[in-house]
Amino acid sequence: MALSFVACSDSDSTTKSVAGTVGDITLDRQTIGTYQPFTAQCAVASGSNLYDEKFYWEKGGTEDLSSLRDQYETKDGISSYYMQGMKAGKHTLVCKMAAVGNDGQQYTAEKTLTVEIVPTDIRNNFWGETQEETRRNLTYYTTMQQEADGGFTFEEKDAYGDLNYSTELQDGISVSPWRLVSLEYDEAGKLERVVYICIPSEVRADAIVSRLGLRKQLLERYEGFTSFACDCIVGDGVVLTDEEQAMVDQFKGGSLTTDSGTALDKAVAEQRVKLELTAENNVSRLRITVTGMGTGSDAQTQMVFSRK
């Protein structure tokens, strides 16, 4: 009986490469506010017979967050993207796989999700959020402390503008060098007040009223506050000069002078008069109180934001 032989080609002995897969993207928060941290995840599976394979994430749109501490990792079949926060609007997240097989073929796969970031009520917080929610929103705050009453405090630059509240402010239009921020809660543990204590680091007793005027302009422009009302509180037993009384009346009428070194500046610094300013926007009320720190000194500004 004759024997026959079949030759085996090189392709018969080559194991075909199999690409990895990328699952749908999910988020760990149902509602994501401006500059609130969140995590995006998707299930991934590695391929086989691959020379190189990687899973990675991309953000679409025009926003540049390269300076933030966003990071991603792939572990135990899950690729996670830890986001420090983004500004309000729609953003595109993409989880991608790229690989090169031992057969020389290139493989790609990706899943895309459009994330809508909604405006918050104040900073990167919502009125009525719990202390646990606030703690998460302050994940990247390095000076944050929780007080005995459950509230949170931290220090930052006293600044205004289109700001990134994912951590303590370092940039923006500065009014005074720094401020102490306190987040306060009601008996049910819901956020009800945010308080700023703004303290100048240099003596500018001649700029107390003009500085308040600048603060008013910035609050109007960047935080939508309107309906400003001005008031002066004269200390018990204090008798104002005619010039001081005229400036008090002018201030109460809504005129915040931009002049420096006025009689009203001096009266405030000497703790004879306090300045008050109230305003509101769509979701918050605001009361500003300017209190002198003594003759030859400057003034401290307290700003109390509360839920409407």
Instruction: Please give the Cα distance from 217 to 225 (Å, whole number).
Output: 9
Domain for residue 3, yes or no?
Answer: no
In a domain, 124, yes or no: no
For 76, half-sphere exposure in the C-beta direction (CA atoms, 13 angstrom radius) is 0
> In this structure, are 82 and 214 located in the same domain?
no
Per-residue pLDDT band for 47 (boundaries 50, 70, 90) equals confident
Beta bridge partners of 53: 99
Helix (H, G, I), strand (E, B) or coil at 103: coil
Length of the chain measured in residues:
308
* Co-location of 67 and 211 in the same domain: no
Range name among 3-7, 70-74, 208-212, 249-253 with the lowest pLDDT average: 3-7
Q: Which of 117, 145, 169 is the last residue of a domain?
A: 117
Mark 58-92 as b/e (b = at least 16 C-beta within 10 Å).
ebeeeeebeebebebebeeeebbbbbbbbbeeebe
Q: Kindly report the CATH number assigned to the domain that includes residue 50.
A: 2.60.40.10
Domain region containing 275: 131-307
pTM for the whole thing? 0.86
Say yes or no: 227 and 94 in one domain. Answer: no
Mean pLDDT, range 289-293, rounded to an integer = 93
- Please state the domain count of the chain: 2
Which band of pLDDT confidence, cut at 50, 70 and 90, is reported for residue 91? very high
Residues 272 and 210 in one domain: yes
* pLDDT tens digits for range 237-285: 999 999 999 999 999 998 877 676 689 999 999 999 999 999 999 999 9
Chain mean pLDDT for the chain: 88
Which residues partner with 122 through β-bridges? 125
151 and 238 together in one domain: yes
Same domain, 103 and 189: no
Model confidence pLDDT, tens digit, residues 6-44: 444 455 556 788 888 999 999 999 999 999 999 999 999
